[in-house]
Structure 1
Amino acid sequence: MTAQNFAPALARVLVHEGGYANHPQDPGGATMKGVTQRVYDAYRTRRNLTKRSVASIEEADLQAIYRRQYWDAVKGDKLPAGVDYVAMDGAVHSGPSQSAKWLQRALGNVKVDDVIGEARLAAVEAHPDHDQLIALMIGRRLAFLEALRTWPVFGRGWASRVAQVKQIGQAWATGSIGPQPAFFLGGNAKATIDQAKPLPAKGPADATTGAGVTSGTLGGVIEAARQQLDPLAASSTVIGYVVTALVVTGVLLTAGGYAYRWYAARRAARRADALDLPEGVAA
């Protein structure tokens, strides 16, 4: 397959990652050439070495971490040219599990987990158009990035990075070289699932629909007021108007509540899909 692609893939990833970074809104924290302090600490601990700043990481350690933590994790040696690089860059940026999901979704698999096993490798190899497969992977990745809270801060850099990753990956898939990689400011900030925007809440809608009438929330308060004033409506024109207004308000709130619930459910479903969350999360 493409075991020889590790070195050129790593070279391009390192350009995207740049040098030392420690942006206060980057969930990766202190990072050197794409390796976070947490990953470097774990690497040294497993080898009974004392912890030290990731800024001092040596080339041999860098190569070992990238090979095992990212390239091997996405089965880089067994993936076709182009797909291997795109999967590795995604793994470095958002974690191997997330990169595996983008590949699986691009293949059209119904079940999505965090493993690239033999069945998935066979599906990739059998895919008739690796150029298209890469485009679908990048599409899934971009949708994921847009669903993160940190998109307003790093979105421009992320979008530029993934656009270039797509160009390089597709070039490799067709036997070409592709453009020289470039560093994009903010594009090296980690983009992980823990930064996901929360799914839209349907609680406000429940307060004005059936759930609200019996729970003491806004819908229930309006209904209780209407019931108290209704017996007095016949003896007072003003009270009659008030009762009518309460009825209309209640109808509007209920209708609005159902409309918002439908809207929130659709938004939640789209966001859950972008984040590759388990089925049923957005129900």
Structure 2
Amino acid sequence: MAKGNFQPALADVLVHEGGFTADPRDPGNWTGGKRGVGVLKGTKRGISAAAFPHLEIKNLTDNQIADIYHGKYWVPIRGDDLPAGVDLSTMDYGVNSGVSRSAKDLQRVLGVGVDGRIGPVTLLASKRADPRVVIKGHCGRRMSFLRSLAIWNTFGKGWSRRVAGVEAKALSWVSSKAQLESDAKAARDKAVAQGGGAAVGTGSGVGVDQAPDLSGLPLWAIVAVVAVIVAPLIIRAIVNAQRASALAQAAKEA
């Protein structure tokens, strides 16, 4: 189990958190949790005004921040009891999107009842599961959720880079160098395939004779159709390229 992993998990979470920011476009920076609602207090080292509206975010010390992460995230996710790597993916997801959402997606990956609270059933399932499979599945569900958000176009590239880094770090705790190298190659191959699919505008594995007939459509409609087809492939290609890079770096450091 992962008892004693709080400090390395916190260190990795903080790698992805900057200093103080108060971007008004980010709903997390507002005490009301929505843009323009409440007071713009910002976010510091991942501690946001939306999650902690009564704190003076800008003035938080490092010790206060560590205490918050331990009490508000590590303890609720049962970090000391989750397998290594799974603890990190669950904590980091919880920091960005809420402990309950992170726990629910972990439970979905494990195939247990979904209630957003990590208890004995979830912990037992996590002990029996392959941690590599759980980490990949959990990070994949996290990415699906993030892509569904209206502000994806503004923050998506940074979010996906973060999830790729967390996935790679979590896997590095439970994987051999050879496994990480294999993971990096698989992600790189997916990125290439998806990028190729976007280039032809029909999707990976779809032949020219299967492409939709757009000859009768006006130019604006053709552009719209192509955008709908190509955009998801481009996003997936970028995400997998980021994963490949992070996994390759983890393999290099293993």
State TM-score, norm by structure 2.
0.62
Larger displacement relative to structure 2 (137-146 or 100-109): 100-109
Q: Tell me whether 1:72 sits opposite 2:84 in the alignment.
A: no
Distance in 1, matches of 2:47 and 2:18, equals: 11
Query: Are the aligned partners of 1:14 and 1:33 in contact in 2 as well (CA < 8 Å)?
Result: yes
Listed as ranges, the matches of 1:207-218 within 5 Å are: none
Query: Are the aligned partners of 1:70 and 1:96 in contact in 2 as well (CA < 8 Å)?
Result: yes
Q: Tell me whether 1:36 sits opposite 2:36 in the alignment.
A: no
Deviation at 1:3, TM superposition (A): 2.2
Query: Are the aligned partners of 2:28 and 2:51 in contact in 1 as well (CA < 8 Å)?
Result: no
In the alignment, which residue of structure 1 is the partner of 2:153?
A: 152
In the alignment, which residue of structure 2 is the partner of 1:131?
A: 132
Q: Tell me whether 1:165 sits opposite 2:166 in the alignment.
A: yes
Q: Report the AA paired with residue 20 of structure 1.
A: F
Distance in 2, matches of 1:158 and 1:40, equals: 21
**Given the alignment, which residue of 58, 61, 85 partners 2:61?**
58
Q: Deviations over 1:72-94 (max 9, x none)?
A: 11110000110001101001010
Q: Report the AA paired with residue 57 of structure 2.
A: V
Deviation at 1:113, TM superposition (A): 1.6
Q: Report the AA paired with residue 157 of structure 1.
A: G
Deviation at 1:17, TM superposition (A): 1.1
Q: Tell me whether 1:107 sits opposite 2:128 in the alignment.
A: no
Change (3 A) 1:133 1:170: same
Distance in 2, matches of 1:36 and 1:59, equals: 14
Q: Report the AA paired with residue 88 of structure 2.
A: Y
Q: Report the AA paired with residue 27 of structure 1.
A: P
Question: What is the percent sequence identity of the aligned residues?
Answer: 42
Q: Report the AA paired with residue 31 of structure 1.
A: T
Distance in 2, matches of 1:38 and 1:106, equals: 28
Listed as ranges, the matches of 1:183-198 within 5 Å are: none
Give SS of 1:4's match.
Answer: coil
Distance in 2, matches of 1:141 and 1:81, equals: 18
Give SS of 1:173's match.
Answer: coil
Distance in 2, matches of 1:155 and 1:40, equals: 23
Larger displacement relative to structure 2 (97-106 or 53-62): 53-62
Give SS of 2:58's match.
Answer: helix
Give SS of 1:17's match.
Answer: coil
Change (3 A) 1:112 1:171: same
Listed as ranges, the matches of 1:234-273 within 5 Å are: none
Query: Are the aligned partners of 1:86 and 1:166 in contact in 2 as well (CA < 8 Å)?
Result: yes
Distance in 2, matches of 1:34 and 1:159, equals: 16
Deviation at 1:41, TM superposition (A): 4.7
Number of residues paired by the alignment? 167
Give SS of 1:76's match.
Answer: coil
Distance in 2, matches of 1:142 and 1:123, equals: 23
Question: Cα RMSD between the aligned structures?
Answer: 1.9
Distance in 2, matches of 1:55 and 1:32, equals: 6
Deviation at 1:174, TM superposition (A): 2.6
Deviation at 1:102, TM superposition (A): 1.4
Runs of 5+ consecutive residues of structure 2 not aligned to the other structure: 30-41, 181-254
Larger RCO (CA within 8 A; separation ≥ 6): 1
Give SS of 2:76's match.
Answer: coil
Distance in 1, matches of 2:74 and 2:26, equals: 23
Deviation at 1:108, TM superposition (A): 2.2
Query: Are the aligned partners of 1:100 and 1:116 in contact in 2 as well (CA < 8 Å)?
Result: yes
Q: Deviations over 1:164-185 (max 9, x none)?
A: 1111111112377xx9xxxxxx
In the alignment, which residue of structure 1 is the partner of 2:98?
A: 95
Runs of 5+ consecutive residues of structure 1 not aligned to the other structure: 43-51, 180-283
Query: Are the aligned partners of 1:83 and 1:173 in contact in 2 as well (CA < 8 Å)?
Result: no
Deviating beyond 6 angstroms after TM superposition, the runs of 4 or more aligned structure 1 residues are none
